[in-house]
Amino acid sequence: MAPLELTHLAGNTWYIPAPSNIGLYVRETEVFLIDSGNDKEAGRQINKLITERGWTLRMIVNTHSNADHIGGNAFLQNKTGCSVAATRKEAPFIEYPELEPSFLYGGYPSPAMRNKFLLAKPSRVTDLIEEEGPVPGTPLTALSLPGHFFGMIGVRTPDGVLFTADALFPPSVLRKYHLFFLYDITAQFSTLERLENENAEIFVPGHGEPTGSLASLIAENREKIREILSFVTELCAQGRCFDDLLAETARHFDLTMDPNQYILIGSSLRSYLSCLCATGELEHLAEGGTMIWKRRSL
């Protein structure tokens, strides 16, 4: 991987630009890390950046448990003895990372699905934190941002910097993947609405560049979700089984269905179907040994 570098944002708040951005808040010489990158090498480089400045890593606050956000946990915890904080819903996935590919796939994952992109090394969650409010023992504040994953949080520093985790994705991701991973579509809409009303000097998405305003990102993310909802509804006009829906979605958006994308897109598509059933636009019926998803008759 490319060498990681520290970038100053404001006051005592820094971040490390990476495929999954990493935040730091420094109190005197203590570092509170916000996520840890995607693998052991990320952890190794983070540790080097911290120690060469005479700082000490005290705690990693994980915004959520996806492998690309907790991949450096194990190295850093083993190396420094730091604490790891996470919400109650995310903690089991951090301590037992095999839950992530198993959940996404809906069964025991094949060897090709057991890679560092989906399966981090386990680390020990020492501090269970609430999804909303102060993070005990730190200067940080958690904000509940569900939708992308079970108990995902954003993290605000005293310098007016808000790390928004994977609540928003940049245009490049929206154009490439279209069905960026979402667990709960309805909760995601609520999170987007909440972020419209959050004030910060600087917002740092989990992927992409820091920004002073989230307005355009929120609009583009909301528009893409609505596009997918409309597309899936149209696909179900005549009734389709899931495999047909997944194949047609991949063809329409020109998606490469390697094992990682197969389970991520498939899981997201199921979430869209569930959302449309909950709003009454679709229904599902058991026919001929399979489940048929169909637009509900008016």
The tens digit of pLDDT for each residue in 282-294 reads 999 998 889 999 9
Instruction: Looking at the structure, give the CATH architecture of the domain made up of residues 235-295.
Output: Orthogonal Bundle (1.10)
Domain boundaries, the chain: 7-227, 235-295
What span, in angstroms and rounded, lies between the C-alpha atoms of 226 and 228? 5
Encoding tokens for residue 14?
A: 């820094």
Pairing of strands 153-156, 141-144: antiparallel
- Helix (H) or strand (E) holding 190, with range, is helix 185-196
Opening angle at CA 132, ends 131 and 134, nearest 5: 110
Which pLDDT score is estimated for 287? 86
Q: What is the pLDDT of residues 232-288, one digit of tens each?
A: 999 999 899 999 999 999 999 999 889 999 999 999 999 999 999 999 999 999 988
Residue 215 confidence (pLDDT) above 90: yes
Average pLDDT over residues 102-122: 96
**Residue 63 dihedral angles phi and psi, to the nearest 5°:** -70, -35
Q: Which residue has the tokens 């796939």?
A: 105
Q: Where are the alpha helices (DSSP H) in 213-258?
A: 215-235, 242-253
Average pLDDT over residues 90-117: 96
Encoding tokens for residue 249?
A: 């979605």
Q: Which of 209, 211, 204 is nearest to 172 (CA)?
A: 209
Sign of the torsion formed by the C-alpha atoms of 155, 161, 165 and 166 = positive
Which pLDDT score is estimated for 298? 64
Topology annotation, domain 7-227: Metallo-beta-lactamase; Chain A (3.60.15)
Residue 137 confidence (pLDDT) above 80: yes
Average pLDDT over residues 89-117: 96
The percentage of the chain sitting over the pLDDT mark of 90, rounded to a whole number, equals: 96
Q: Which of 121, 109, 29, 113 is nearest to 75 (CA)?
A: 121
